[in-house]
Chains A and B, each alone.
Chain A
């Protein structure tokens, strides 16, 4: 996994709550058997005026001029500002894959849906929870200053605005450690393979019915 230590980038404000994973990447694009290539279809139904199809060249499609990411000033945004309960809905990891493929590295919101939040960390994408008033302040500053960039430091757990104002955020130690070092979770877990085997042996004895293969 790609490590995340520090990132500086243009912030784009997505001003709606409960952005669901169907909105982030509609179902017709889940048919891919790859992890990459979802970027052109990120927020497909909001971003384009027509209905998107898998494996389509999106360069000639009609853009929705009202959609935030279609505005020139947010073209190279890599920090997404969002509202409450971002990423609700399905468990599809295609949602963080699409955000990552588009170029986002950080998402800042007052709250996230659990599964989405968890999926981000597996893909080098950093979801940051900040208090609602702080997020509101960032929304206002982003909208009023073109080229507004935020600097995110995972080591010191801070988000810093262009004026130098800094906000601390919380993140689990294990997740932070894996992200800072780009660690593969599976490799870390397999260091405890003997422990897993001994748990499993005990379980096989106490609950043998869980080890029936069926029919």
Chain B
């Protein structure tokens, strides 16, 4: 019999019941909650007279709607009354049901996908869900983690289980070493460029190969985070010393004898040598250059030294029409060099790229430089209150402010513009977030997805530039 993949192992360990019809009940170890996708779930519980199955499996924080300024005012700092109601509703639901929440004024508040790992609430071997598609982030720890809808949030609250059908296994292998200045973000954008935005639909992706093994947890989280942009709900990386070192000593992580027992189990969380994948995709690390998206889907991506594509060269009529529409929306000409794209704003943040390593990489680029005078705004939004404190302890905030970037408080911010941080119509933004959909960062806004270093380089030059030209 063939060996098991990491996904097979995690699935088998959480299988409560295999039903005859092919569906299965899977036990959920951790649910993360935020204000946007939970109110209707709590309301559903209330209407049905149900109680949460297991309180300590849940952890909540407001992140999508929170302002990134005036945070000392707490909830009163939320100007938009509709946003404010949503955050108040989360507080009220967590208080009523007895769920632990890092509220808006708690230093531990932050983007759910940043605080889970930061607190050790994300542990290898867990199943983790959240009403947010970027829950795949947590797969970087050898967990089975994916986004769910609000009905399923309610289902997990009420039963601690999910009804699932097993996905297929895909291995994305990045061989060799990455070039200098090439980050996890560039790797995942290159992968999406290769497999397409629906390439991973129906699959759980495991990211492996020498280049992935060499990456930090932050970079692995960035890669797993964007699995969903490649169509896969689940992205994973096998557990190794880097994983275990990251988890050790975190507030929710085990200690003493339990730590040793946990580590012994965690070390089994990798695909067996003879495991069989339904699909294998390989990339050479050395071939990956800094990436920039030019269109309105994450698969519309190319290297910084590339050009905007020419629809005339696309044979497939639906794809051709997609390129024409994207270029029109983005206000770009076919064949123009990526480095000719001028920016209006820069956003460094989001669950993809707002961890300490991301901020260090961006700070290194802007240090001693100034934001281009043509830019309207450059924002740096740390992923959590603790990331913010760490960055300030390292003096990164001063580097950003001296260069002319704004240093903000933690939240999802301009990634999806549910708070006050947004793009104006027609504005181009170099963004470290995860989606370049039409209107994503503001009505009529034009998003270009890049790494933190590339966003920083764009901030100081006013257009896209290969960050390696600035740092070498």
Residues of A within 8 A of B40 (CB): 33-35, 93
Inter-subunit contact B154/A186 (CB<8 Å) = yes
Inter-subunit contact A16/B322 (CB<8 Å) = yes
Inter-subunit contact B437/A122 (CB<8 Å) = no
Contact residues, A83-138 vs B (CB, 8 A): 83-85, 88-93, 96, 111, 113-115, 118-119, 122-123
Interface check B287, CB cutoff 8 A: no
Binds B, one of A69-77, A161-169, A170-178: A170-178
Report the contact-size class of chain B (Cβ under 8 Å from the partner).
35 or more
Inter-subunit contact B163/A185 (CB<8 Å) = yes
A33-B43, A35-B40 in contact; A174/B160 too (CB < 8 A)?
Answer: no
Residues of B within 8 A of A114 (CB): 201-202, 231-233
Residues of B within 8 A of A185 (CB): 151, 155, 163
Report the contact-size class of chain A (Cβ under 8 Å from the partner).
35 or more
A28-B418, A189-B161 in contact; A85/B321 too (CB < 8 A)?
Answer: no
| A 15-32 to B, binary, CB cutoff 8 A, 1 in contact else 0 | 011101011001110111
Q: Across the two chains, which residue of chain B brings its CB closest to A17?
A: B318
**Among B85, B123, B439, contact of A210 (Cβ-Cβ < 8 Å):** B123
Contact residues, B119-166 vs A (CB, 8 A): 119-121, 123, 125-126, 131-133, 135, 146-152, 154-155, 158-161, 163, 165
Binds B, one of A5-13, A140-148, A152-160, A194-202: A194-202
**Among B125, B151, B231, contact of A122 (Cβ-Cβ < 8 Å):** B151
- Can you identify 22 A-B contacts, CB atoms within 8 angstroms? A16-B322, A22-B435, A23-B437, A27-B417, A30-B36, A31-B85, A34-B40, A45-B439, A51-B444, A54-B82, A88-B197, A90-B133, A90-B147, A114-B201, A114-B202, A118-B152, A173-B22, A184-B48, A196-B53, A209-B123, A209-B254, A214-B119
Extra inter-chain contacts (8) besides given A32-B82, A185-B151, A189-B163, CB under 8 Å:
A22-B438, A88-B231, A91-B133, A114-B231, A189-B161, A200-B27, A209-B253, A214-B100
Q: Which residues of B contact A (CB under 8 A)?
A: 16-17, 19, 21-23, 25, 27, 29, 36-37, 39-40, 43, 48, 50, 53-54, 56, 59, 64-65, 80, 82-83, 85-86, 89, 100, 119-121, 123, 125-126, 131-133, 135, 146-152, 154-155, 158-161, 163, 165, 197-198, 201-202, 228, 231-233, 251-254, 258-259, 261-262, 265, 297, 318-319, 321-322, 325, 416-418, 435, 437-440, 443-444
